[in-house]
Amino acid sequence: MSERLDPVLHAGGPVHDRLDEADLAQFDSHGYLFVESLFSPAEVRELSEELRKLASDPRLQGREERITEPGSDAVRSIFRIHKLSRAFDWLARDTRLLDVARQILGSEVYLHQSRANMKPGFTGKEFYWHSDFETWHVEDGMPRMRALSVSLALTENYDFNGPLMVMSGSHKTYVSCVGETPEDHYKQSLKRQDYGVPDEESLKRLADRGGIVAPTGPA
């Protein structure tokens, strides 16, 4: 484990007023920001319906972007979704999201990766603890931590149905993962993560330091 070198908030970008001072302080200190009702119920329904169509689209059968649950044909994730759907291309360009990224990163931004996770509550296999940046740094060559992840919940999230969990303050630490990543590891890791996961001692230290938070609430 090593301390983060890059600042969390970057100044001098094209957007200055999407987030207020309280939001910026929250993100700087804890590394996450939960915003409810950013998109209307109608917009959420439209995206949910589009995702259901994509999951059952026979044209995606056998494509690398379509990842299924281990041991079944149930769709777990769809990658490059902004390239497969006009609705999700629109989402990737929506200023309600883009301006948050522009303000935090202090610059114009690009999309490194897009995906829709459809892991069903209760029955879907877990996504193990991981750092997006560690994977992007080691496997994709992303040089610095001047990046962020944005998620949009299309279903209600409860404590009991497997919501995303985050460790508060963990964005200020880089946790390297032991082991050489196999070739084409990304294909298998989407079903089961065996490489690129933090060791148990690092996870314990991060959890003890900042605690674990789950963003629950409506879609």
Q: What is the CATH number of the domain that holds 6?
A: 2.60.120.620
Mean pLDDT of 12-16: 94
Range of the domain at 75: 2-213
Residue 111 domain-assigned?
yes
> Residue written as tokens 């769709």?
75
Residue 219 domain-assigned?
no
Q: What is the pLDDT of residues 129-160, one digit of tens each?
A: 988 899 899 888 999 999 999 999 999 999 88
Domain total in the chain: 1
Compute the radius of gyration of the chain from its Cα atoms.
18
Residue 218 domain-assigned?
no
Burial class (CB in 10 A: 0-12, 13-18, 19+), 177: middle
Strands 166-167 and 115-117: unpaired
Residue 70 domain-assigned?
yes
Residue 11 domain-assigned?
yes
CA atoms of 140 and 179, how far apart (whole Å): 16
pLDDT beyond 80 at 83: yes
Better pLDDT: 186 or 166: 166
